[in-house]
Structure 1
């Protein structure tokens, strides 16, 4: 979704939406914030440690006529996550879009269960904490990878296995919530991508297993951060059925699958 489409979606709804994007100080999250802010949304840039980077992004968005604020929180910590939601509601009154972009699992020295903690448990807890403040028509966007979305059906690089398994578990947990969310008229949309060129995850994986990344490049050109962020931003206004998956890149993964329907 380009800037004009994002703006049209926001104007169609009327009032400015409040969008929380986790892990938004860089990469896909930051670019998604730029696109949604250009469309008229107020973007809340969540970060864990990179406050200066988040401030720089917010300043950039405001300087170009958008609306943005920052909110530091470690979503793996329940108290920190509750503080994040409380701060957003105190300032904006409600939360219209929750983009679940933050993820992890390749960090050096991380606890063995860290991948599952951030990619499943933290995502589900954040949704439950946000839910009472999300009005009808709100959307939750879960950002994932083909390696995770197709986990158990397609090969996964060994070093990426903990992330793939835990993000698939996170997606499954969110899908299990769809009936209850539907009663509140809240959609869950999934955006799945091949390895995204330039992201921190791909850079970390390239250091550990460069052949895994080059193998993906051999299949097709990897999507860019901008291309993937545009798909995430589009999902934030999608009228597709809850549970619908948008796929970006990785044509070999999609052989035999409908391009915009969950497999």
Structure 2
């Protein structure tokens, strides 16, 4: 049976920006599928809240760096909905000490390689008018142009590589009638990244607030992502900026 609502898949949708994006898309009438890596209770809380919007919901446990789990993910999405209207590539990593201890190249594997493979797997379910949204940070988007937070540098490098790999697919996406939008955010309150960075860079959040003022929240980021996904006036390849402007980042060089 053809689903009555549009369908969105949000990777890393159980917390922070991903959770906020899931709710924002549900508010706009999307049936939502979210992935999570290991926190089922948290994923179920997001799903319960999204369901209040009178949409269908599904949470799928998936390590997006593993081919077999990506295959299972999209088999489940295909069986559940049969298509995808929006793919939000939000899940990322590279600060997790346990994963880095096992795989020093983990940042590149999750932030570049997995993103490309997720797109490859999603394309057969997408149609003209569908949207791919890649979520990144100012430091990653401007990698090579601004000073990096040392602890975050491998993440920024790999997310920049992921963005460039996706942008290289623009001609193919254009032929399919699928738009790519990139949403880049400043340091985002209410997410895990500032907490992890504070361990190595105490006072980082306060310094950033002193430099640019109020930081955007996860909810504001989620709203911006959802708005970009449904804004057909945004051209493919467009970058949406949340928080400090990129010019300000380039001027400050930090």
When normalised by structure 1's length, the TM-score is 0.89
| CA distance in structure 2 between the partners assigned to 1:32 and 1:26 by the alignment | 10
Q: Could you give the per-residue CA deviations for residues 2-45 of structure 1, whole angstroms, max 9, x where no partner exists?
A: xxxxxxxxxxxx95111000000011100111111011100101
CA drift at 1:67: 2.6
Q: Could you give the per-residue CA deviations for residues 139-192 of structure 1, whole angstroms, max 9, x where no partner exists?
A: 000000000001111111000000000000000000000000110000000000
Q: Is 2:14–2:35's contact at 8 Å kept on the other side of the alignment? A: yes
Aligned pair count reads 243
Q: In structure 2, what is the equivalent of residue 236 of structure 1? A: 229
For structure 1, which segment, 169-178 or 228-237, has the greater mean C-alpha deviation from structure 2 after superposition? 228-237
For structure 1, which segment, 212-221 or 224-233, has the greater mean C-alpha deviation from structure 2 after superposition? 212-221
Q: Could you give the per-residue CA deviations for residues 228-250 of structure 1, whole angstroms, max 9, x where no partner exists?
A: 11111112112211110000112
Q: Is 1:219–1:250's contact at 8 Å kept on the other side of the alignment? A: no
| CA distance in structure 1 between the partners assigned to 2:52 and 2:176 by the alignment | 36
CA drift at 1:64: 4.2
- Which of these residues, 79, 89, 104, is aligned with residue 90 of structure 1? 79
1:67 and 2:56 are equivalent in the alignment: yes
1:163 and 2:155 are equivalent in the alignment: yes
Unaligned runs of 5+ residues in structure 1 are 1-13, 258-263
Q: In structure 2, what is the equivalent of residue 17 of structure 1? A: 6
Q: Is 1:40–1:67's contact at 8 Å kept on the other side of the alignment? A: no
| Matched ranges for 1:176-195 at <5 A | 176-195=168-187
Q: In structure 1, what is the equivalent of residue 114 of structure 2? A: 122
SS of the aligned residue for 1:49 comes to: coil
Q: Is 1:194–1:250's contact at 8 Å kept on the other side of the alignment? A: yes
Q: Could you give the per-residue CA deviations for residues 36-85 of structure 1, whole angstroms, max 9, x where no partner exists?
A: 10111001011111112111211222134333111111100011001101
SS of the aligned residue for 1:196 comes to: coil
Structure showing greater relative contact order (alpha-carbon pairs closer than 8 Å, 6 or more residues apart): 2
Unaligned runs of 5+ residues in structure 2 are none
Q: Is 2:13–2:35's contact at 8 Å kept on the other side of the alignment? A: yes
CA drift at 1:203: 0.6
